[in-house]
Amino acid sequence: MYHRITLIVVITTLFACSEPAKEEKNGNENTPSVANSHTEAQHDQDTAKDFEWQVDRFAEFKIIRYQVPGFEELPLQQKQLLFYLSQAALSGRDIIWDQNYRLNLTIRRTFEEIVKFYEGDRESDVFQKFMLYTKQMWFANGIHHHYSNNKFVATFTAEELKTLVNKSPSENFPLENGQTLDDLLASINSAIFDPTFDAKKVNKAKGVDKIAESAVNFYQNLTEKEVTDFYAAKKNGKDLTPPSYGLNSQLVKVDGKIHERIWKVGGMYTEAIEQVVYWLEKAITVSENNEQKSSLEKLVKYYQTGDLADFDDYSIAWVKDVNSDIDVINGFIEVYSDPLAYRGSFESVVSIRNPEATIKIATIAKKAQWFEDNMPMDAAFKKKEVKGITGKSIVVVMESGDASPSTPIGINLPNANWIRSQHGSKSVSLGNIVHAYAQAKGKSLEEFAWDSAEIDRSKLYSSIAGELHTDMHEVIGHASGKINDGVGTPKETLKQYSSTLEEARADLVGLYYMMDPMLVEIGVSPTVDIGKASYDSYIRGGMMQQLQRLKPGEDIEEDHMRNRQLIAAWAFEKGASDKVIERRARDDRTYFVVNDYEKLRGLFGKLLGEIQRIKSEGDYSAAEHLVETYGVKVDQELHREVLARYKKLDLAAYGGFVNPILTPTIKDGEIVDVKISYAKSFKEQMMMYAKDYSFLPNKN
């Protein structure tokens, strides 16, 4: 839950942001091979001068490319390592699809056969509606929206889908057990066309059975109570280093008995995990140093055994590997998609250290103890000794799973509290991702900022303010505070509210210190006025602009959105008597204006202290009150206004990415070079991935 800061592309002001031939697909092959299906006609290698950042736009999404500057000048060993790690990342891609929903792979593969082989009119209204749904599904790694968790609405009919299938002469539709095409369609039609069937991927609404009402494929035939009881029975209150129960398994009930299907070699998802392991083992042969080699070896062992103790060993080794230029996150990491925050979604981020940009984030990390000591919270909840915090800026080379196409801009891991306390953590800022967002920015600032002073301040300081808040959120925020002895982990005590409050806590740490002279003193900020730009943007976003992501009548359910509204709405209410934040109107438009930045900082500090108390003491009732009172419900009249204002702006609400293409040059069976190129089409990349990285068997 500590992993990610996500970027709201449309609300942020912190960033200046003929028919195809038939072809075979890899299917479920078990023999690893280098993917080389792309051609020069499909991809190009642009210079920065004429680089086209945005490559697609559909519905509320835009697709952007990011560059990897300096890749061509890397030594061969590092190029090989990056290639192998990237192959490992992409080899696990199918896993996130199946985790997100049990029918996702069947639906995706059915639709991709239509994309390849449809012989009808591809300019027709029906086919365009079909392609819109397909692109939305590709973006979200499934049929449920990656942020709202609601199903996408198909604007074509079941009968029209049948016609599309019948006019696509493919032998590779995902038929199982003697199925006909009609049987196949019958198995997926309800998921696509019935709005009440598996309606939400994750349902964290108050008062519902969060397991029974969530369509995510982490549980089968279980209730919320059965899941919580199952793990309560495993817990040993005296164990100071508890494993991350449930992180790498599906929990199922068969014939009245509950058991776990472990994600490992020889277990569930073995076909894809074997591929991941193959490429990780290749990466080990070109490791940069012994620390990196040890870390990768422990990761392979974890995939082979499925033992969470091995995952903890790997996490500790990964934290200790601070000297490598190349790094990788690979595994079942983040628990946002589990309504009870147990199970980790597959993801991978492959990267290179940016030494110049790392100076600032490393400077912040060195002052971690000072920041901890000066937190506006009870001393009992502070760490007496902050250990092992490291920070760096990275250049992303490849992303997969839960990190792609929608990506974080900051990462802090590992998630296990005891590892963070005893061994430390790593924080990274995804520098080239932030840069790419900035190149594809919109123009919402002038629409939602109150006056020219606010606009000018944002334009002057927005870039550094955004980067600085991200760094403080990840490096200091997630690493701060402690849990009282015997309280238990936040996912046990705070349950469905744990992720929201952890993100709020980290955001508040960043916000509180954005106005602190210490940032100027250590040289990471030129002026405290950067904090004012940050406060302006945060209040605008939390109170108004993020509402563009919701449909009329919806509550907020995504953890990061809940977190932002909670902070902004709480501060607005608590500072109302002093008009710290003022709601104003002009020309039938609503604005939220910060009148007193110092008092707002004080409010942020007060809320930070309370949220840390809630986490430290495991106060579920207080957590529920904060989130449900301030983070969930939406002012529907204001929401309608925001939607109308954004409609005129015609800006995408979400940004995602296509990855670069790494192509090895092979001579006498050895890689002698790796070339990088940049995808020109979202559809082409998704179809290439489907051909080269589809390893899991069909299930429908």
Q: Is the pLDDT of residue 12 over 60?
A: no
More confidently predicted of 28 and 606: 606
The pLDDT assigned to 249 comes to: 98
Per-residue pLDDT tens over the stretch 311-332: 999 999 999 999 999 999 999 9
Beta-bridged to residue 352, according to DSSP, are 326, 395
Residue 699 pLDDT: 72
Structure tokens, 38: 């792309």
Taking the CA atoms of residue 608, residue 609, residue 610 and residue 614 in that order, the dihedral angle to the nearest 10 degrees is: 100
Residue predicted with more confidence, 443 or 309: 309
Percent of the chain clearing pLDDT 90 (strictly above): 80
Between 422 and 700, name the one with better pLDDT: 422
pLDDT digit string, tens, across residues 526-553: 999 999 999 999 999 999 999 999 989 9
Helix residue ranges per DSSP H, 575-653: 597-617, 620-626, 636-649
Is the pLDDT at 29 greater than 60? The verdict is no
Question: 45 pLDDT exceeds 50?
Answer: no
Least confident of 30-34, 167-171, 378-382, 511-515: 30-34
Report whether 149 contacts 216 (CB < 8 A).
no
**Whole-structure pTM value:** 0.85
pLDDT given for residue 688 in this prediction: 97
Which tokens hold the place of 632?
């969930």
Structure tokens at 508: 């508040």
Q: Is the pLDDT of residue 23 over 50?
A: no
Token pair, residue 283, equals 């990466």
- pLDDT value of residue 700: 53
Is residue 28 scored above 50 in pLDDT? no
Q: Which residues neighbour 404 within 8 Å (Cβ) at sequence distance 6 or greater?
A: 347, 656, 657, 659
User: Domain-by-domain residue ranges, the chain?
Assistant: 219-262, 450-549+560-650
Residue partners of 303: CB distance under 8 A and separation at least 6: 264, 265, 273, 276, 277, 280
Mean per-residue pLDDT, 61-82: 97
| Bridge partners (DSSP) listed for residue 581 | 594
Q: What is the pLDDT, as a whole number, of residue 238?
A: 64
- Structure-token pair, residue 610: 């309370």
pLDDT at 237: 64
| 267 has pLDDT over 80 | yes
Q: What is the pLDDT of residue 388?
A: 80
Between vectors from CA 162 to CA 156 and to CA 164, what angle results, nearest 5°? 75
- pLDDT surpassing 80 at residue 40: no
Does pLDDT of 202 surpass 70? yes
Whole-number percent of the chain with pLDDT over 70 = 92
Q: Are strands 654-658 and 61-65 parallel, antiparallel or unpaired?
A: parallel
Q: Decide which of 165 and 489 is more confident.
A: 165
Describe the strand order of the beta sheet including 654-658 as a list of residue ranges. 54-58, 61-65, 654-658
pLDDT at 492: 87
Residues in CB range of 489: below 8 A, 6 or more apart: 242, 417, 483
Give residue 587's identity as a one-letter amino acid code.
Answer: D
Q: What tokens were used for 33?
A: 């091979």
| Rounded mean pLDDT, 475-480 | 92
Residue 478 reports pLDDT greater than 70? yes
Alpha carbon 521 to its chain's center: 33
In this predicted model, what pLDDT tens digit does every residue of 552-583 receive, in sequence order?
999 998 999 999 999 999 999 999 999 999 99
- Residue 22 banded pLDDT, cuts 50, 70, 90: very low
Q: Residue 543 corresponds to which tokens in the numbers above?
A: 């109170």
Q: What is the mean pLDDT of the chain?
A: 91
Whether residue 3 has pLDDT greater than 80: no
pLDDT digits (tens, 9 = 90+) for 222-238: 999 999 999 988 886 66
Amino acid found at 569:
A
What is the pLDDT at residue 462?
A: 85
pLDDT score, position 463: 80
pLDDT of residue 698: 83
Distance CA 314, CA 295 (A): 6
